[in-house]
């Protein structure tokens, strides 16, 4: 890479699940390239809800590219309780990052969205063209609409100023460094933490899962997603969003996900119960990964059971220090 092509990639949300996975791939899995510098920032480095703080962060590191991962995120039940907060905070973060990048003349920004932003009532599988064809599921409308607006902002900067601001849309992500909080986490890390704790209780060893266990999800291991995001920063030349996901055939039920976690933690299946009085949230949101498969036909996703086992092992090893 010539000196004029030296690349400095600023990663917002560098302390989160995906940011840590990108850092792990760069530093430990051979993804680092000569001529590249990757900078991983957290909320300690800047308040991205404040425009001046965001501008100062970019001025300090002078990136050529931004991988924008920072967001206010949470699981089903915290979204149900705080939809307005999720909308307002994420709108501020995204608007500030893209405006500051534009004013600093940064031509490429890759922002991370989520498959929950797609319409609730739609023909499956969903593809990249389906984004604005109907309202998202009501359970997390605040987060979903804020994330949808990133794609609107991207289009505006691309059309009006010729930028290459693009969005990637992963499905349900899990892995090491996730948020394992008992109430505010996503489904897999929350279940890992709860099952681990219940296993330690010699008296009350049964475990109740909220919901029926029937909803279907496409889960992607954070290390797989990180590799795809690194490729997107380097190589993806389109301005249209890109879904990053395992295939339709890899969609599994919450019940099956729980069974895999039980296996990884050596917890007895017969102690499981499902509380059908609790909300399931969106039943399914199946996406097509046809586009990324065509772009990277040789990419291999980590099998779900292996990824769950690696995540559980990491959680047990780091129980005292992980986010929970």
Q: Given the DSSP bridges, would you call strands 7-12 and 252-253 parallel, antiparallel or unpaired?
A: unpaired
Report the Cα 117 to chain-centroid distance in Å.
Answer: 12
- Which residues are part of the catalytic machinery? 143
Q: Which residues contact 303 (CB under 8 A, 6 or more apart)?
A: none
Q: How far apart are CA 253 and CA 116, in angstroms?
A: 16
C-beta of residue 218 within 8 angstroms of C-beta of residue 287: yes
Under 8 Å between Cβ of 200 and 232: no
**Sequence-ordered strand ranges (E) for 207-257:** 207-210, 216-217, 219-221, 242-244, 252-253
Q: Reading across the β-sheet that carries 164-170, which strands appear in turn?
A: 36-40, 7-12, 65-68, 108-112, 164-170, 242-244
Contact 189, 16 (CB under 8 A): no
């Amino acid at each position: 890479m010539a000196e004029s092509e030296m690349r400095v990639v600023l990663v917002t949300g560098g302390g989160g699940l995906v940011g840590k996975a990108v850092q792990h791939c760069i530093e430990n899995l051979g993804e680092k390239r000569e001529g590249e510098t990757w900078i991983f920032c957290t909320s300690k480095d800047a308040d991205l809800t404040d425009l001046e703080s965001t501008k100062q962060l970019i001025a300090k590191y002078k990136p050529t590219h931004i991988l924008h991962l920072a967001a206010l995120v949470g699981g089903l039940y915290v979204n149900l309780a705080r939809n307005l907060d999720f909308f307002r905070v994420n709108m501020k973060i995204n608007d500030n990052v893209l405006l500051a990048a534009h004013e600093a003349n940064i031509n490429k920004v890759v922002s991370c969205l989520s498959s929950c932003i797609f319409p609730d009532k739609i023909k499956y599988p969903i593809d990249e063209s389906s984004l604005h064809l109907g309202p998202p599921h009501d359970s997390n409308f605040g987060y979903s609409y804020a994330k949808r607006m990133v794609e609107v902002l991207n289009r505006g900067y691309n059309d009006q100023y010729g930028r290459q601001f693009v969005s990637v849309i992963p499905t349900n992500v899990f892995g090491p460094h996730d948020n394992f909080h008992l109430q505010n986490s996503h489904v897999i890390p929350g279940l890992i933490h709860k099952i681990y704790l219940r296993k330690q209780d010699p008296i009350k060893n049964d475990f109740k899962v909220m919901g029926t266990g029937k909803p279907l999800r496409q889960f992607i291991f954070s290390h797989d997603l990180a590799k795809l995001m690194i490729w997107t920063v380097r190589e993806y030349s389109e301005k249209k969003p890109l879904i990053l996901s395992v295939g339709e055939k890899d969609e599994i039920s919450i019940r099956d996900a729980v069974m895999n976690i039980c296996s990884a933690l050596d917890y007895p299946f017969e102690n499981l119960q499902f509380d059908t009085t609790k909300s399931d949230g969106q039943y399914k949101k199946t996406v097509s990964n046809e586009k990324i498969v065509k772009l990277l036909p040789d990419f291999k996703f980590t099998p779900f059971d292996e990824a769950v086992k690696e995540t559980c092992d990491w959680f047990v090893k780091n129980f005292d220090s992980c986010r929970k």
